[in-house]
Amino acid sequence: MTADTGEITIPGNLALYHPIDKFDLGWGVKVTNVGFANIRLGEVYPPHRHPSDYMFSWNRGRRLPNCHILFIGRGGGILETEHGGTARLESGDVFILHPGEWHRYRPQKAVGWTERWCGLSGSYVEQVLGAFFNVNRPVVKGVPATAVRQRFRRITRFFMDGRTVHVPKLVAEAVGLLTDIAPFAAIETRPFSNAIASSCDEMASRIHENIDLEELARRHGMGYSLFRRLFKKQMGFSPHAYVVEMRINRARALLRNTSLTVEQVGSAVGFSSLAYFSYVFQKHVGLSPNAWRLNR
């Protein structure tokens, strides 16, 4: 392993890791690691030691901090992910690992496989993931295998070179890889506007609950940052602010039209304590819940 690149090699295999820097992130796409492996029949998998953040075993699985794209050149195996369940992997398949998604995968011992991979991060990558790659459907079939294989080879070559002058070429190849794969991604084609509308409906129906907004975004095939951006653009509020606004509006209706106590109203609209409900209500309305009720 070299100090500069974090290179790990054994015959027929390569893994390279680079730290993220501000210059790379300015492009919106950063290639963080690349590699390939030729896993022969019966070989132990994974075949070599990765840095601790990337190493995994079948029993434990792992979560990675950034997106990873893997291409199975030949052979076959199995993939399991937190949201996508179990899927069979075949020659020519690509699978996408979303940031933070628990997963594990391995080739069939009786078959083996060849794999190529790269790790990606950045604002553009996040946007493309949310737009085209559903976390519930990580395996992409039918991709142009020759074009994808050549993309991976060029990405690996530019990445190994490591010179800043080649960063734009590396970025272009990474974007090209996403472009090659995206049309074949098995995702729902529902427009984002419908996804946001559906999210709003769910928020309204669960106003009394503690809503996990990141999980809500995932179920609509988006990372939270993209979900938040699109939500605010369409609704004029961030998702969190929208939930609070709905709760305050519902609280007003209950204070005006029912004899529920202030504490009961707060609980009915999802606040965990009377003190917190009163604080948020006064911050938004300018009066305490009791004062607002008396002035109606």
Q: What is the pLDDT along the chain (296 residues), one digit of tens a residue?
A: 233 334 434 345 555 555 545 555 567 898 999 988 899 888 888 876 566 667 788 899 999 999 999 999 999 999 999 998 999 999 999 999 999 999 999 999 899 999 999 999 988 898 888 878 888 889 998 888 999 999 999 999 999 887 777 788 999 999 999 999 987 885 443 456 678 888 988 998 898 899 999 999 888 877 888 888 888 877 778 999 999 999 999 999 999 989 999 999 999 999 999 999 999 999 999 999 999 998 87
Query: Tokens for 207?
Result: 């106003």
CA pair distance 206, 159, nearest whole angstrom? 47
112: left (phi over 0), alpha (psi -120 to 50) or beta: left
DSSP H or E segment with residue 182:
none
pLDDT at site 15:
56
pLDDT at site 229:
82
Side chain identity at 61, as an amino acid letter?
A: G
Q: Which residues make up the CATH 1.10.10.60 domain(s) of the chain?
A: 190-296
The pTM of the whole model exceeds 0.85: no
Q: Which residues make up the CATH 2.60.120.280 domain(s) of the chain?
A: 8-184
Query: Tokens for 122?
Result: 């950045």
pLDDT at site 163:
75
CATH class of 8-184: mainly beta
pLDDT at site 2:
31
SS3 content of the chain, % helix, strand, coil (to 5): 45, 20, 35
Identify the CATH assignment for 190-296 out of 3.30.70.20, 1.10.10.60, 2.60.120.1060, 3.20.20.70.
1.10.10.60
pLDDT at site 150:
95
Query: Tokens for 27?
Result: 């492009």
CA pair distance 121, 47, nearest whole angstrom? 25
Q: Give residue for tokens 């998604």.
A: 101
pLDDT at site 23:
55
